[in-house]
Structure 1
Amino acid sequence: MPPAHPSYLLLFALIFRLAAAAEVSVWSVAINPVQNAVFRKTLYANTTISMKFQGDTASCDRNLVFNISWYLRSSVCYNEVFNTPDNKATNMFGLDHMVKDGWSGFYSQGYMYFENCSSLFLPKVYYPEFNPYQPLTSPKSDASNQSFIWPDKPDISAVAKAWKDSPYLFIVKVQPLFRGIEDEEIGPEQVNFAFTMKVEMKGPHDYSSPADWPLMMFFMVMCIIYVLFGALWLFWCACYWRDLLRIQFWIGAVIILGMLEKAVFYSEYQNIRYKGDYVQGAVIFAELLSALKRSLARILVLIVSLGYGIVKPSLGTTVHRLAAVGLLYLLFSSVEGVMRVTGGFYGTVALVANLSLSLIDSCVMWWISFTQAAERTTALNCCI
């Protein structure tokens, strides 16, 4: 007797998708006289934020000094941090109150003074102790005098520390000044410098954020489960190899694709944990594998519902409709996955892709229900 067609394996292949791309923890930003840098990330408590500067002293005016100020802000509102445009986020620099009543959060700020380019590029301890952080007040209330002090001391290049698990907004302003005329306004055309600012955010789980760490654990567990299911499936196939049906090879293909997909995602989240960034091409490859796996899984669910390989020797003209459904789902799921990874998840194309996927899934469910109802009616008529 051949191994049964375990519907749980097919449904298992329809696992839910990621909601957004992974969060980067290491940035290298080219600084020019007219640029302010804005960084967004979900941080664990006690995550250390470090700033390093790299460049060539020969490309920097010897008479320039630098006043680099930063502002770190936490918020209970995810959209305030991640969906606020850079120009509006820059206007929040130095604010000691919440954007709306009823929200909560904290802020901290500080500055660093560099007397020349050489001191800017040297690794150093910027502060004898971390700057205190204060609660954000209501827009209509007075500023709070309450502050909280960190007990530990900053390491080399450390500027701030996260105080709780929360989304954070980190803004950096670079103000170049000519030595001896700090009080005068300097236009961008008057200064000559170019350097790179490297920002790192490292916490209890290295560079992994509270949004990425659970996903890494999830992909690790799922990869192990897929390996176990694959081994069990091979064992069943070896035991009943004389009675195997063609559809059972396709079920094995779904398991293999799922195992590869989870392994690639897990390796990328591991890369984020230890290096702070991910390889976009590898994530896109994993998304395409996922799209192929989910498309094949839906076709298999339809084939099983139609009885192919079990009670029907062929599907006839239905094959063309199955191929159309599979190709359409593969197309739209690939577009949706790539848009999510590349940052266009909220665009019009991604919206059309998501609506199309929902429509195709509805059609698949309707097709399965209609097929099962038709088969039950035929069986009842035969009995009568």
Structure 2
Amino acid sequence: PELGLWLETVNDKSGPLIFRKTMFNSTDIKLSVKSFHCSGPVKFTIVWHLKYHTCHNEHSNLEELFQKHKLSVDEDFCHYLKNDNCWTTKNENLDCNSDSQVFPSLNDVVARTQKDGFHIFIVSIKTENTDASWNLNVSLSMIGPHGYISASDWPLMIFYMVMCIVYILYGILWLTWSACYWK
């Protein structure tokens, strides 16, 4: 089954986080920073992109492109993905320093899907100071109308429930039939 909740650690050497999921319309995507460590004062810019696409593996090589540096972290993903079903949001100037007890909060729901189908959610965390050392523990959740279950797993859950009931009825019928012919 597809995950609906992720806990990821991001540091100054990490690339963008890429999450794939089949989601229902109006699925809320929530992003929060659970814990952090900054060696000195650092200003963060967090950018996220939500992309709807029709084919499941349409952009299966994004991680590979980042590793080979053919796609830059500073680049606009929606421009690269060449599709109007892509939404970008930016949250700038989030301050982090070693004296802070709480990371500046983000909006609880950072994105909401517009259609049923396959989605890619990309989170890019950048700083102005490239020499700064930092570490963030990020929590991402995708909650739809049926909870964390994905749109591709929902029909299977109904199928498994129906088959479970059918096999229970077969078991009861077998026990009844066995009891009737007991000698």
- What TM-score does the superposition give when structure 2 sets the normalisation length? 0.84
After TM superposition, the structure 1 = structure 2 runs for residues 23-172 of structure 1, keeping only pairs within 5 Å, are: 23-35=2-14, 36-56=16-36, 59-81=37-59, 83-88=60-65, 91=71, 93-96=76-79, 106-117=85-96, 118=100, 121-125=103-107, 157-172=108-123
Relative to total residues, which structure has the larger helix share, 1 or 2? 1
The unaligned stretches of length 5 or more in structure 1 are 1-21, 126-156, 179-185, 243-384
Distance 1:241 1:123 in 2: 69
Secondary structure of the residue aligned to 1:40 is strand
Could you tell me which residue of structure 2 aligns to residue 265 of structure 1? none
**Would the alpha carbon gap of residues 40 and 89 (structure 1) be closer, same or farther in structure 2, given more than 3 Å must change?**
farther
Match in the other structure for 2:134: 193
Larger radius of gyration: 1
Number of residue pairs matched?
Answer: 173
Structure 1 outlier segments of 4+, above 6 Å: none
Q: TM-score, normalised by structure 1?
A: 0.42
Matched letter for residue 63 of structure 1: P
Q: 1:96 to 1:124 in 2, by over 3 A?
A: closer
The residue identity in structure 1 corresponding to 2:54 is V
| Pairs within 5 Å for 1:184-333 | 186=130, 190-242=131-183
Cα root mean square deviation, aligned:
2.3
Return the alpha-carbon distance in structure 2 between the equivalents of residues 120 and 71 of structure 1: 25
Percent identity reads 32
**Runs (5+) with no aligned partner, structure 2:** none
C-alpha distance 224-89 of structure 1, shift in aligned 2 (>3 A): farther
Shift in Å, 1:31: 0.3
Q: 1:164 to 1:200 in 2, by over 3 A?
A: same
CA distance in 1, matches of 2:121, 2:81: 15
Counterpart amino acid of residue 175 in structure 1: K
How far is 1:161 from its partner? 0.8
How far 1:113 sits from its partner (Å)?
Answer: 1.7
CA deviation vs aligned residue, 1:120-162 (integer Å, no higher than 9, x gap): 724443xxxxxxxxxxxxxxxxxxxxxxxxxxxxxxx211110
Residues 1:89 and 1:170: Cα distance change in structure 2 (over 3 Å): farther
Question: Cα–Cα, structure 1 residues 47 and 194, in superposed 2: closer, same or farther, change >3 Å?
Answer: same
Following TM superposition, by how much is the alpha carbon of 1:98 offset from its aligned partner in structure 2, in angstroms?
Answer: 5.5
- Aligned 8 A contact 1:76 1:105 in 2: no
Say if 2:25 and 2:115, in contact at 8 Å, map to a contact too.
Answer: yes
State how far apart, in whole Å, the 1-side matches of 2:40 and 2:166 are: 61
Residues of 1 paired with 2:101 and 2:25: CA distance? 31
Work out whether residues 44 and 165 of structure 1, in 8 Å CA contact, stay in contact via their aligned partners in 2: yes
1:303-343 deviation per Cα after TM superposition (whole angstroms, max 9, x unaligned): xxxxxxxxxxxxxxxxxxxxxxxxxxxxxxxxxxxxxxxxx
Paired letter, 2:45: N
Cα distance between partner residues in 2 of 1:107 and 1:45: 14
Q: Could you report, residue by residue, the CA deviation over 1:233-290 in whole angstroms, capped at 9, with x for unpaired residues? A: 0001111123xxxxxxxxxxxxxxxxxxxxxxxxxxxxxxxxxxxxxxxxxxxxxxxx
**Aligned partners of 1:120, 1:175: CA distance in 2, in Å?**
19
The Cα shift of 1:97 comes to: 6.7
Q: Which residue of 2 aligns with 1:358?
A: none
User: What's the offset of the Cα at 1:96?
Assistant: 3.5
Q: Between Structure 1 and Structure 2, which shows a larger proportion of strand residues?
A: 2
Q: Name the aligned partner's letter for residue 159 of structure 1.
A: V
Q: Is the 8 A contact 1:25 1:207 kept in 2?
A: yes
| Partner Cα distance (1:119, 1:163) in 2 | 36
Distance 1:53 1:166, change over 3 A: same
